[in-house]
Amino acid sequence: MTFRTRLLLIFTMAVAAAVGVVELVVSSRARQAFEDMEAKRAEALVTQFNREFARRGMEVMRTVESIAASAAARDIAISPDASSYVDQAAALAATHGLDLLELVAGDGAIVSSAEWPARFGYKEDWLATEPDWQARGAFLKREELPDGVALALVAVGTASAGDRKLYVAGGRLLDREFLSTLVMPAGMRVLLYRNLAPEFSPSELIGAPGPAPGAARLKSLIEQVARERRDVTATVGRGAEAETFHALPLTGYESGLLGVLLIGSSRRDLVELEASMLRTAITVAAAGILMGIALSWWATARITRPVRRLAESAGRVAAGDWGATVEVASADEIGQLAGAFNRMTHELVEQRDRLVQAERVAAWRELARRLAHELKNPLFPLQITVENMQRARESYPEQFDEVFREGAATLLAELSNLKQIVARFSDFAKMPAPEMEPVNLNRVAAETMKLFEGQLAKARVRASTELDAALRPVQADREQMTRVLRNLILNAIDAMPEGGTLTVRTVAPETGARLEVSDTGQGLTPEECERLFTPYYTTKTHGTGLGLAIVQSVVSDHKGRIAVESEKGKGTTFRIDLG
């Protein structure tokens, strides 16, 4: 992360945090105020409902009592044959403005029913259960009608004539018309759920305009009120559609829950206010951030540009351009830093040159040493052999032929050795560029191991191959890779003079291929690991030491990597990653 970015982030976080805190506080205060107001309005509505309910109840009670006190009721009560009054209730209900009216004889048999005329003669035994209907007043009741069930506010009056009695049970339906009489502030509404069905029924939820849509989302609230029989407040819905509902249970004649009154208060205003505040906060924050960006830009321009230049130059140095320098534009700490950087890179360049020079000298020295060593070996036998042949010609010519034969064989062998040395040097000098083709390293490994079967057996080395079947072909030079494997196997055999186990392993990573050659030889020290790939570095007493150098050169030409892991006395593993 750049300094500018960090600085920018700090500015941003500071602004955002400040604005966020302010927004939260203000928003919380506003919500609290809104909810306080909403609670007050709901309470006022509940009071209004209760008052209207009581008023209606009184009205129904008065109407029923006036019917019960009328001469018509008395006539019906004393009449020995009530059958001629079967139509009376409908007419009385119409004139007195009641939705429901039943005239019921003292024995509970319906004389006349306005809402269900066909029910004459059916029993309404519940009327006899209350000793004083007048004291009971009006109450909620579930009423069965020909086309369904309804909720009604009902009162009962009694007409008496001697020992004859007539019950007058009348009422008004609790329906949308009743709800429409309640005055609702803006944003509030009242709903009535008529608990008349065994299961929750969306069609029983009504408002002043008619059936209330979206009844299903109030189901759990209503069921909670039904279970707990107490007032419950809950918010339903989300966002601007959210509403806070105060739900009140309405109990009926036998304390059964007959309805639930729901007073809903829309949270739209609050949501919109909060959204507005949020927008403002975001705007302020954005402005702050922009300002922060500008400030940070200006600030960092003064600070980070030179630092970045330094960083860029450092990067170039790391990439190898040791001659990178930084312009020194100021005399402050940054300028001092730039100057020091420049001096450092200059030193580095000089040191690198010296190092390179020294390495070259060291490498030439090493090469010369090795060459001298390699060449020396066959040269001494050559010199001695020629001198021996010279002495034999001069001193004991009768043995010259034998000496000449032995000497010639030795000369030819050592000359062949010299040629091999020269060939290896020549090979190493003119190793060609690899010819890439898709190569299955599993096959290369299997074929190479087969070639070494005899040699491995002779060296008492157990061969093991762990080839990953999922290994994909990689772009490689088959011949060179074969050479690499051969060199590594030869190295491994040489590392196990007493025998051991040689393992050739292939692994299929996500991309490319991995080839490993492991032995159970004497292993290498860390220092030996470091110098392993230096040409002519060898731990062997014979050999040119070019083998691993060739391996490294081939791997490098394949853009691969080679690594070695070893532990003294345990063994060594060479790992090649291609692709």
**Binding residues vs other proteins (CB under 8 A):** 83-84, 86-87, 116-122, 146
Closest distance of CB 105 from other proteins, Å: 12
CB 334 within 8 A of CB 306: yes
| 523, HSE (Cβ side, Cα atoms, 13 Å) | 9
Closest CB to other proteins among residues 115, 494: 115
Closest CB to other proteins among residues 118, 355: 118
Distance CA 207, CA 263 (A): 10
Closest CB to other proteins among residues 166, 281: 166
The continuous run of DSSP H or E covering 191 comes out as strand 188-194
CB 298 within 8 A of CB 32: no
Give the amino acid at 129: T
- The torsion of the CA quartet 318, 320, 323, 326, rounded to 10 degrees, works out to -30
Beta bridge partners of 257: 251
Closest CB to other proteins among residues 88, 487: 88
Closest CB to other proteins among residues 86, 196: 86
What DSSP string runs through 331-394?
SSHHHHHHHHHHHHHHHHHHHHHHHHHHHHHHHHHHHHHHHHHHHHHHHHHHHHHHHHHHHHHH
> Which of the 8 DSSP states describes residue 115?
S
Closest CB to other proteins among residues 149, 340: 149
Closest distance of CB 124 from other proteins, Å: 14
Closest distance of CB 258 from other proteins, Å: 23
Closest CB to other proteins among residues 196, 375: 196
Closest distance of CB 202 from other proteins, Å: 23
Closest CB to other proteins among residues 118, 372: 118
Cβ neighbours of residue 185 closer than 8 Å, sequence gap 6 or more:
41, 45
Closest distance of CB 79 from other proteins, Å: 12
Cβ neighbours of residue 426 closer than 8 Å, sequence gap 6 or more:
none
CB 141 within 8 A of CB 171: yes
* Helix (H) and strand (E) counts in the chain: 14, 17
- The SS3 assignment for 100 reads strand
500-507 and 461-466 as β-strands: parallel, antiparallel, unpaired? parallel
Distance CA 168, CA 73 (A): 8
229, 304, 326, 339, 437 from 329: Cα distances, Å: 82, 13, 9, 10, 54
Q: What are phi and psi of 122, to 5 degrees?
A: -70, 155
Closest CB to other proteins among residues 88, 410: 88
Closest CB to other proteins among residues 88, 518: 88
Closest distance of CB 117 from other proteins, Å: 6
Q: What are phi and psi of 447, to 5 degrees?
A: -65, -40
Closest CB to other proteins among residues 119, 268: 119
Distance CA 137, CA 253 (A): 10
Closest distance of CB 224 from other proteins, Å: 33
CB 225 within 8 A of CB 233: no
Closest distance of CB 162 from other proteins, Å: 23
- The SS3 assignment for 482 reads helix
Distance CA 201, CA 296 (A): 63
Closest distance of CB 96 from other proteins, Å: 21
Closest distance of CB 120 from other proteins, Å: 5
Closest distance of CB 118 from other proteins, Å: 4
Closest CB to other proteins among residues 121, 209: 121
Closest distance of CB 126 from other proteins, Å: 18
